[in-house]
Amino acid sequence: MRVLITGANGQLGGALQRLAPEWAEISAIDVDDCDLTDSGMLTARLVVEAPDIIINAAAYTAVDKAEADEERARAINAGAVATMVAAMADTGGKVVHVSTDFVFDGTSSAAYDPSATRNPLSAYGRTKAEGEDQLRSEDLLVRTAWVYEAGGANFVRTMIRLMKERDELGVVADQIGSPTWASGLARTIWGLAENKATGTFHHSDAGVASWYDFAVAIAEEAQALGLLTRIPVLRPLTTADYPTPAKRPAFSLLDCRATRAALGEDAVHWRTNLRLMLKEEAKLG
């Protein structure tokens, strides 16, 4: 089966290619190969690739920048999805689209079910929600959160760099969710695709954390693996202490029980996957 992966050079795109099952004949594109904001160019590329499945791992993910660049964010996060869906409607193919916890407003007192009401707080969240709205009933939507991967541009690697440079570091402690190892997300996406799943599913690692909790765990696990020689003072901050252009949900934990049941798998705690990622990071040098 021919599978086209967009966002080929991103964290998830790389993991999807590396972990692709034998049944998938992979082609992959990134911004250097095709401008997703150009509907004509994208349509022409899809005609050439002729995929049975598109896994759309491409996105405009600069959350704060999107506040002043919403038109471009919308073109990538929603317009390109509409183009992909139209192309697949013509050929009988399927779109597997990856979205985000930022479509929720963070006011829930329980983990967000896949059917929960969306109310995005930011341009990024709005444009991702609009992308979700382009999908058909036969397509597959997978929402995720706080993604990281060895070698990528992410919170884990940024924290390790800052911890090497500073004696003290403040980290937001009142935004709650769960980290997601991109390799685990890729395995879930492939599993759902193989099962011909449709509709909306959630995937993040098990457990609950604030960004501060995540940073503390990063420091401890990185030091244990020799990636850090010392742990700086880590100071919890409030969101008000660290204002950003984009408003973020205070609580964006995703309910992933239906996903785990569909795949017949147990959830893996985020700290376990963090340790696995950091072992990979150590091998990269």
Q: What is the CATH number of the domain that holds 80?
A: 3.40.50.720
Assess if residue 118 is contained within a domain.
Answer: yes
Contact 75, 68 (CB under 8 A): no
Q: Which of 73, 57, 162 is nearest to 126 (CA)?
A: 73
Assess if residue 126 is contained within a domain.
Answer: yes
pLDDT of residue 284: 87
Assess if residue 16 is contained within a domain.
Answer: yes
Q: Can you give the residue range of the structural domain that contains 75?
A: 2-148+179-205+253-265
pLDDT of residue 32: 87
Assess if residue 83 is contained within a domain.
Answer: yes
Assess if residue 15 is contained within a domain.
Answer: yes
Helix (H) or strand (E) holding 230, with range, is: none
- Extract the runs of DSSP E, i.e. beta strands, from 11-101: 25-29, 53-56, 94-100
Q: Which of 252, 7, 245 is nearest to 131 (CA)?
A: 7
What is the length of the chain? 285
pLDDT of residue 90: 87
Assess if residue 274 is contained within a domain.
Answer: no
Q: Name the residues annotated as catalytic.
A: 124
The amino acid at residue 94 is K
Q: Which of 68, 144, 137, 67 is nearest to 104 (CA)?
A: 144
- Extract the runs of DSSP E, i.e. beta strands, from the chain: 2-6, 25-29, 53-56, 94-100, 140-144, 147-148, 168-172, 176-177, 180-181, 199-202, 209-210, 233-237
pTM of the shown model? 0.94
Residue 128, SS3? helix
Assess if residue 121 is contained within a domain.
Answer: yes
Assess if residue 211 is contained within a domain.
Answer: no
Total domain count, the chain? 1
pLDDT of residue 259: 98
- How far, in Å, CA of 29 to CA of 14, rounded? 11
Q: State the 10-residue block means of pLDDT for the chain, 285 residues long.
A: 95 97 95 91 93 97 96 97 95 96 96 97 98 97 97 95 96 97 98 97 97 98 95 96 94 97 95 96 86
**Burial zone of 176 (CB within 10 Å; 0-12 exposed, 13-18 middle, 19+ buried):** middle
